Structure 1
Amino acid sequence: MKLRSLKAAGITLAVTCTTLGLGGVGIASASTTDTKPTKACVQTVQAGKSKPSKPTCYPNYRAAIAAATHGGITDAPVSAQQAAMNKNFQARLARLGKSAPQGKAAATGETPYLLAQFYTEANYGGTALVYMGAGACERDNGTDYQRPYVGDEFNDAISSLKTYSDCRANLHEDRDFQGANIGWLYGEWDYVGDAMNDRTSSIELG
């Protein structure tokens, strides 16, 4: 167990990280949480290696989640960081795909799964990149979803992440899963570490 202090986005954080097996959990306490609207982008990924495509971006996190869930969740916080720190809201996100569809999703009977969220600042701050998929990860030590390029806005910009639906995330330094990689991360990581901070270009989920 390693205790580390860091300062990002004007917030002083105390971070405790524990690594267990293939994944780990980073738990942070912040003195303040951003409640201002923050831009967020949504990407629906296909099983296997997705073709390059741009995420769709929205002026705030609430609008992004409403679109990602096809209207199933319309009352998300406007700030991605505020949403990340809200345990009740995080529990709702964790149930996506497992509970009865709501909103516009009820018409098709399908609710997409939330796979992961990536943030351009430590402690879940900045712009959020939301990955949605048709099903949970299988956790069989294989790769279920791949993004060979995260897009220009998020290239060399990711600093923290959360995973959902039994997914782990492996961040790669270069496109097409080349270069150094961070290894499989599971759960909440308020900082990806100095070695991979602002260096991610492609991502695997599995």
Structure 2
Amino acid sequence: MIFETRCAGCDTPGGAICTVCRFALLGRAPRHHDGHDGGVIAALAFTGRARDVVIGLKYRNRRAVGRHLAGLVVNRVVETGAHQGLDVVTWAPTSPRRRRERGFDQGELLARTVARQLGLPCRRLLERDTGPSQTGRSRAERLRGPRFRARPELGGRRVLVVDDVVTTGATLQAAGAALASRGAEPVLAAVAATPERRPANVVELRARRSHAA
């Protein structure tokens, strides 16, 4: 049996992500951004081809696109200057059940690639308490978020937290709170942000740029 590689964005035979989809991702600026005060750095708007590519990674085992998505996260982090002074990269782990179903944790895959590209260590600093996955839950349920425990004591280290998708922002906020409880200064990042539902702590990059002009 011959297995044909197809683009995660448009399903065209060829590479893991075709040239057209690569340009589509580059051409889609993030709708929302805030790299400071606990905000979320979003590399992509979770819509169109970007949504297809992220879903391909998350649900269709298209792991090869992780490197490209991680590169987009790195670009945004560097663009905002949030990479300065970073000590370590970690991720918001998915539930054990989801990891078993998928055979990998997409957040970990992205975080390890982001860390490698930034020249930083990647460490598992968070443990997810047993509870339901965020996938398929209502917005009200998502806002209550998962619970995390951080280890070890982090003594003021600046930690970049990577996740695949941010919707309400509850997962990243919970991860950041757990790290802060251990003395870390968390910097939150996500591969994609949902433009229709804006996390309360995220502001528009374009608005900030226009005010600065």
TM-score normalised to structure 2 length: 0.28
More helix by share: 2
TM-score normalised to structure 1 length: 0.28
**Structure of higher CA gyration radius:** 2
Structure with more contact order per residue of length (Cα contacts < 8 Å, sep ≥ 6): 2
